């Protein structure tokens, strides 16, 4: 059955504010940087959020951690589908919560992403993106 927009519980501003506090001291407080070259090219003062310095190297950690936090009391495991940063975020967040995780990854996922996902304790099941749906 397709999900229709009128059946969704859309997040509110209060939901977003509440979610922003969940990673708390678990996530890194990443710095903001500026670039004179970028400022001059764009004609604005640009600020760059260095989320490459976040745990597991991407902003997806905060969302993954928040999602797993909502499931931690009822989940016996976490299942995700990703070939990269989302896989790492979910497996690291699951590890931090003591919940086993499995990620469905394409066989041709980048080797570094696969290795990182496995290093965070995620089980990986492969599929062929060209022959399997």
Domain containing residue 100: CATH number: 3.40.50.1100
In a domain, residue 114? The reply is yes
Annotated catalytic residue 41: no
In a domain, residue 99? The reply is yes
- 130, pLDDT greater than 60: yes
In a domain, residue 79? The reply is yes
Q: Which domain holds residue 84?
A: 58-127
pLDDT tens digits for 14-28?
Answer: 988 888 888 888 999
Among candidate residues 25, 41, 60, 115, the one labeled active-site is: 60
In a domain, residue 38? The reply is no
Residue 13 CA to residue 66 CA, distance in Å, equals 16
The CA-atom distances, in angstroms, between 18 and each of 24, 39, 65 are 11, 33, 13
Q: What is the pLDDT of residue 7?
A: 65
Residue 130 CA to residue 127 CA, distance in Å, equals 9
pTM of the predicted model as reported, rounded to 2 decimal places: 0.82
What are the phi and psi torsion angles at 84 (to 5°)? -160, -120
The CA-atom distances, in angstroms, between 11 and each of 18, 27, 62, 79, 113 are 11, 22, 17, 22, 30
In a domain, residue 13? The reply is no
Q: What is the pLDDT of residue 114?
A: 95
In a domain, residue 132? The reply is no
- 90, pLDDT greater than 70: yes
Q: What is the pLDDT of residue 1?
A: 41
Take residue 108 and report the two structure tokens written for it. Answer: 């041709």
* Residues ≥6 apart with Cβ < 8 Å to 129: 106, 107, 108
Annotated catalytic residue 60: yes
Overall number of domains in the chain:
1
In a domain, residue 78? The reply is yes
Among candidate residues 41, 82, 83, 119, the one labeled active-site is: 83
CB atoms within 10 A of CB 12: 9
In a domain, residue 43? The reply is no
């Amino acid at each position: 059955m397709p999900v229709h927009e009128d059946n969704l519980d859309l997040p509110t501003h209060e939901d977003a504010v509440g979610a922003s506090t969940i990673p708390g001291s678990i996530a890194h407080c990443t710095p903001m940087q500026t670039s004179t070259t970028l400022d001059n090219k764009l004609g604005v003062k640009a600020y760059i959020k260095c989320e490459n310095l976040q745990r597991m190297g991407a902003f997806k950690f905060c969302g993954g951690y928040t999602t797993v936090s909502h499931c931690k009391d009822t989940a016996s495991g976490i299942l995700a589908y990703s070939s990269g940063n989302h896989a790492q975020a979910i497996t690291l967040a699951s590890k931090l919560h003591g919940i086993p995780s499995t990620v469905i990854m394409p066989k041709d996922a980048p080797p570094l992403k696969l290795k990182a996902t496995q290093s965070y304790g995620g089980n990986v099941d492969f599929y062929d993106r060209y022959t399997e749906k």
